[in-house]
Amino acid sequence: MPINDPLFWQGLGFSTANILLIVLALWWLYWSPTKGRAGQPAAPSPRLAAGLAALLGLSAIQLTAGALWDASMHILTGQIPAGADFLWPPHLMIYSSFLISLIVAVGSIGLVAIPAWRAGERDPRLWARRNPYLGAVALASLYSLLAIPGDALWHALYGIDLTAWSPPHVMIIVSMCTVMICAVGVLIQVRPAGPKLNAVDYAIPVLLGLTLNVAFIVGTVEWELGVGQGSTLVRTNPIWVYPLVGGALAFFTLVLAKRLTSFRWAATMTAVTFFALRGLISIGLALTHNVVPYLPPLFIGGALLLDVIPWERIQSVWLRGLSMALAFTAGYALVALPVLAVRAHLPRFSDSDFAIAVATTLAISLALLPVARFAGQRLAGEKIHSS
């Protein structure tokens, strides 16, 4: 890494300043002392929540399509110039994604702030605390816009070998995933009480499938562009890292889907949504003579096992968690690893690569399970699903 290059310090400084700004804003909005107390939580109407989720879903689709299109154009043109690609079509699609989420956030917070202002509540922190999901959407959307200049600096630093795991890329994707998770939280706020399935139970896996597409843009796409060992991540990491990252992202999201809805096939529906969107984008890229990425590791087998097995019959929480991690890992490895092994553009999988991929996927699944459960509990509150 060229630490003596001034661009390195400019990029690092810009990214660090953006992160600190958002952290300070997060503390100020949600945890700083206030004189007054926030009023009752102001959940949006079901219609507004559905519209918000739909728009943020569209934002995620645009970001995924724009990012894959952007990667294709970089490969086809051989260009990653500092700022010269700032306004080319894929970037405009990506920027429009950020703009949609910001407009939705600002408009939604306005619906909370206006009544509060009329009631004499002047502190914006109290507005945000009445509906923390909408405040988080606004902050995450703002960060995505602030990160754009920093991304141009990192492009200039790394040139043609720009990695998907650069700090601006990682933080932009984290921000967008935060936006999508908050959209899920807003839907949960308006979900009717009771055991009967409703539209929210079906919408949650769809939104999480779109969220997973966003996460995979940074997580695995560098192994999927057909550029082989010339790619930074592929060249500098052992091949088992690829299925490990894909498995970790998939397992966390699938378990979260099962925690947030009583729909039995939530994990499978999340996986189907993920691959349906990725497939449609690939068709669009092929029809426009762009580079079509390979599909990510096929985690559909793991999703099916998470849904088919009646986990509620296992009384021990620890045994249930271990069994879920084992089941996902088995289904994932049996389907995904053989497919990855025959892809000519990837380095060859050795027997030890297979063993390490399976072992590390199981280990990370066990580590992520309580995190996914905690995230589900915080999102769902008293409506949490017991499985």
* Residue-wise pLDDT tens digits, 80-124: 555 556 677 888 898 889 888 888 877 877 777 787 788 777 788
Contact assessment for residue 291 and residue 223, using Cβ atoms and an 8 Å cutoff: no
pLDDT for res 385: 40
Q: The domain containing residue 330 runs over which residues?
A: 196-387
Query: How would residue 260 be classed by pLDDT, with cut points 50, 70 and 90?
Result: very high
Q: 183 and 207 share a domain?
A: no
pLDDT for res 1: 47
Q: 321 and 269 share a domain?
A: yes
Last residue of a domain, one of 157, 190, 223: 190
Q: Compute φ and ψ for 100, nearest 5 degrees.
A: -60, -50
Report the C-alpha gap between 223 and 227 in whole angstroms: 8
pLDDT for res 259: 93
Query: How would residue 143 be classed by pLDDT, with cut points 50, 70 and 90?
Result: confident
Q: 320 and 214 share a domain?
A: yes
CATH code assigned at 242: 1.20.1450.10
Contact assessment for residue 244 and residue 361, using Cβ atoms and an 8 Å cutoff: yes
Q: 185 and 334 share a domain?
A: no
Q: Is the pLDDT of residue 346 over 80?
A: yes
Average per-residue pLDDT in the chain? Answer: 85
Higher pLDDT: 170 or 207? It is 207
Residues 6+ apart with CB under 8 A from 368: 248, 251, 252, 255
Q: 318 and 213 share a domain?
A: yes
pLDDT for res 386: 38
Q: Is the pLDDT of residue 14 over 50?
A: yes
Report the C-alpha gap between 179 and 108 in whole angstroms: 13
Reported pTM: 0.88
Paired tokens of 119: 């009631």
How many domains in the chain?
Answer: 2
Q: 375 and 240 share a domain?
A: yes
Q: Is the pLDDT of residue 5 over 70?
A: no
Q: Is the pLDDT of residue 130 over 50?
A: yes
Q: 109 and 230 share a domain?
A: no
pLDDT for res 227: 64
Rg, the chain, Cα only: 21
DSSP string covering 208-238: HHHHHHHHHHHHTGGGSSS-GGGSHHHHHS-
The phi-psi region of residue 314 (left if phi > 0; otherwise alpha if psi is between -120 and 50; otherwise beta) is: beta
Q: How far apart are the first and last CA of the chain?
A: 46
pLDDT for res 162: 57
